[in-house]
Chains A and B, each alone.
Chain A
Amino acid sequence: MAKLLAYFTGLVLSLMVTFNGLLSGFTSAYLSNVVYHAFGLVFFGIFLCLLKKQTTTGAFKWYYLVPGFLGSLTIILNNIVLNVLGVTLMIAFTLVGQVITSLVIDHWGLLGKSISRSTRKQWFGVGIMIIGLATMVL
């Protein structure tokens, strides 16, 4: 069941970036980003009000806002890239970026993660992925 849901989430993710891209084509990449995040803001705002007593209350730090800033940048870039590359190419390039970033973070233990040295075999896998990307665009 969980595996099926993981596959299903992949389907939904592609649909999500496509609808955002279509909205940005109709309006702009920036407005589409605001509309996308407004849904989440309202949803979690209501959730937060309903569960106020049950949520933890740590002191607010400015860096709690950094992921949201980066999330906004992600959706704007998604909207710009999708309309040029289409869904498949964009996802393939994004995946390679994800894998390389994960390897670098784990190798040096960045962002508070424990160190897990990358192996040559892993970079060989990344090399194959880059060959795949080259096949798609050349």
Chain B
Amino acid sequence: MTLLLIYGLAVCIGVLVTVVPIMNGANTRVLGTIRVSFFHYFSASITGVAFLLFTASFGDIKRLPEVPIHYFLGGILGLSVILLMNYYSVRIKALHIAILLFLGQMTMGLALDYFLFDKLNVKIIIGLLIVLLGLIVQSESKKSASSSKT
């Protein structure tokens, strides 16, 4: 049951990851990229602090000095992702973006799962290949559907 909930939450991440850039994209037309990005991070930080208060997790701040320095790289990498996406998203097809991004995530994901989390097995690799096949079928159908309209 708990695992089912976690699967559901993972799908919810996919919903959020799709909806947030669309909303930010609409706001960008009025405010411009820099202000939208600032508002995004401002609101996210305030929300984050509110979550810290509600969950009484403020005490964890005391542990920050003990954290290995490379654990903080997530924030810097997140910024690099935004800048990289801004560069290539207007230069290549949406189909290639979806597939190449997925392949990149999978390459690193498999390596990290093997070396760091010890969660890699043959079932996961076969499943991934099927997911990739599904992604290609879905994306190709989208392409042919939009080209038949024109």
Contact A7 B104 (CB under 8 A): yes
Task: Tell me which of A6, A30, A47, A102 contacts B101 (CB under 8 A).
Answer: A6
Please judge, given known A-B contacts A14-B109, A125-B137, whether A88 and B128 are in contact too, CB under 8 Å.
yes
Q: Considering only CB atoms, which chain A residue lies closest to B138 in the complex? A: A125
B108 within 8 A of A: yes
Q: Considering only CB atoms, which chain A residue lies closest to B67 in the complex? A: A26
Contact A30 B55 (CB under 8 A): yes
Task: Tell me which of A76, A81, A105 contacts B18 (CB under 8 A).
Answer: A105
Contact B52 A31 (CB under 8 A): yes
Contact A121 B141 (CB under 8 A): yes
A67 to B32, CA, bound (A): 15
Residues of A contacting B102 in the complex (Cβ-Cβ under 8 angstroms): 10, 91, 95
A47 to B119, CA, bound (A): 40
A69 to B75, CA, bound (A): 17
Residues of A contacting B77 in the complex (Cβ-Cβ under 8 angstroms): 12-13, 15-16, 19
Contact A93 B7 (CB under 8 A): yes
Contact B78 A26 (CB under 8 A): no
A14 to B117, CA, bound (A): 13
Of residues 53 through 105 on chain B, the ones whose CB sits less than 8 Å from some CB of chain A are: 55, 57, 60-61, 63-64, 66-68, 70-82, 84-85, 87-88, 91-92, 96-97, 100-105
Please judge, given known A-B contacts A9-B104, A31-B60, whether A68 and B42 are in contact too, CB under 8 Å.
yes
Task: Tell me which of A23, A58, A69 contacts B31 (CB under 8 A).
Answer: A58
Task: Tell me which of B15, B45, B109 contacts A88 (CB under 8 A).
Answer: B109
Kindly provide the distance from the CB of B46 to the nearest chain A CB, expressed in whole angstroms: 8
Contact B104 A97 (CB under 8 A): no
Of residues 115 through 130 on chain B, the ones whose CB sits less than 8 Å from some CB of chain A are: 116-117, 119-120, 123-124, 126-130
Contact B9 A80 (CB under 8 A): yes
Contact A31 B57 (CB under 8 A): yes
Q: Considering only CB atoms, which chain B residue lies closest to A40 in the complex? A: B41
Kindly provide the distance from the CB of A65 to the nearest chain B CB, expressed in whole angstroms: 4
Please judge, given known A-B contacts A6-B96, A9-B85, A128-B134, whether A97 and B11 are in contact too, CB under 8 Å.
yes
Residues of A contacting B41 in the complex (Cβ-Cβ under 8 angstroms): 37, 40-41, 43-44, 68
Kindly provide the distance from the CB of A74 to the nearest chain B CB, expressed in whole angstroms: 4
Contact B139 A125 (CB under 8 A): yes
Q: Considering only CB atoms, which chain B residue lies closest to A22 in the complex? A: B71
